[in-house]
Structure 1
């Protein structure tokens, strides 16, 4: 009988450990900012899905392009219909690795994240600094990076070329909780 209790406890304990290998958020934050001489454009998305594998340091991020919210509805419409063509390319993704993740402990540290960003059907390797805050029940990643619009084959009509920056600043904040 003691053997059965030990076996049940062992299975429950091991499955609890396995669950802690993955941390997840469905409410991550990503924004982008375009500064030009004519106007500034900012959009925010609070529906970002992200998963971290704490054993390997791998990370996957996905967001719907239509989930970006702009101050002006017309900007949002143009963004989705004319620039990122969200009907054709509905998602943006990032698949990569948090460098030296196995050496991080329960503290805040700056490290590097490298991987492939896919936007508008175009994949591009990126690398950027990221602030990682690790607690027992949460892993938070914050940072920003710049992307060139042309790298993702996003066409800007000449009529509005001065309204949209050629380089966009992307900011992110992702609060991951243990996946159960």
Structure 2
């Protein structure tokens, strides 16, 4: 889905596309994850994450293609897409929610924030509240967060043979620099 289409989906969540809606977006957000175990560390990064924020309503939407995660070890990338994430069947991960704090987006500043909404990975949607920071500076909005995703919560199965090499809770970090649409 193109970012423009995704923006329209986000706006439709508000019930109508208000002329007063102010949208900030990126299609080059950075989402990374790591799995740390005593036997192996696995790290991957996606620099093509799409994010959009409606500063009028506080609604936020994130979308990433699973195949856009890159790994240092290409074999790990292949296993990630084919065996664990089943990227052909579940090509995207999304979050659609609302920032729960009222923020004056016209003023520079830094805020501790949380967004509550629906988080979908591997075809499984969960209600989640994700904590993070939001910084407004020079007409841009920087959103950062770090949180864990339990594989079991999204029915991501790890074969017994590699079970001790893959953490059951994956650490996710996000950094998105949004500009006015």
- TM-score, normalised by the number of residues in structure 2: 0.86
Contact kept in structure 2, 1:112 and 1:127, CA below 8 Å: yes
1:1-180 correspondence to structure 2 within 5 Å: 18=19, 21-103=22-104, 105-179=107-181
Seen in structure 2, the aligned counterparts of structure 1 residues 27 and 19 have a Cα distance that, compared at 3 Å, is farther
Choose 103-112 or 36-45, whichever is displaced more.
103-112
Contact kept in structure 2, 1:61 and 1:93, CA below 8 Å: yes
CA distance in 1, matches of 2:32, 2:138: 27
* Unaligned 5+ runs, structure 2: 1-18
Contact kept in structure 2, 1:19 and 1:178, CA below 8 Å: no
Distance apart, 1:100 and its partner CA? 1.3
Contact kept in structure 2, 1:54 and 1:101, CA below 8 Å: no
Contact kept in structure 2, 1:113 and 1:127, CA below 8 Å: yes
Contact kept in structure 1, 2:21 and 2:56, CA below 8 Å: no
| Other structure's SS at 1:162 match | helix
Seen in structure 2, the aligned counterparts of structure 1 residues 108 and 96 have a Cα distance that, compared at 3 Å, is same
Choose 136-145 or 70-79, whichever is displaced more.
136-145
CA distance in 1, matches of 2:46, 2:148: 17
Distance apart, 1:113 and its partner CA? 1.5
Alignment deviations for residues 5-46 of structure 1 (CA, whole Å, 9 cap, x no partner): xxxxxxxxxxxxx58700010000000010111100000000
CA distance in 2, matches of 1:125, 1:24: 23
CA distance in 2, matches of 1:19, 1:174: 23
Seen in structure 2, the aligned counterparts of structure 1 residues 101 and 139 have a Cα distance that, compared at 3 Å, is farther
Contact kept in structure 1, 2:28 and 2:48, CA below 8 Å: yes
Distance apart, 1:115 and its partner CA? 1.2
Distance apart, 1:127 and its partner CA? 1.2
For the aligned residue pairs, the C-alpha RMSD in angstroms reads 1.6
Contact kept in structure 2, 1:56 and 1:101, CA below 8 Å: no
Distance apart, 1:135 and its partner CA? 2.6
CA distance in 1, matches of 2:167, 2:33: 11
- TM-score, normalised by the number of residues in structure 1: 0.86
Larger Rg: 1
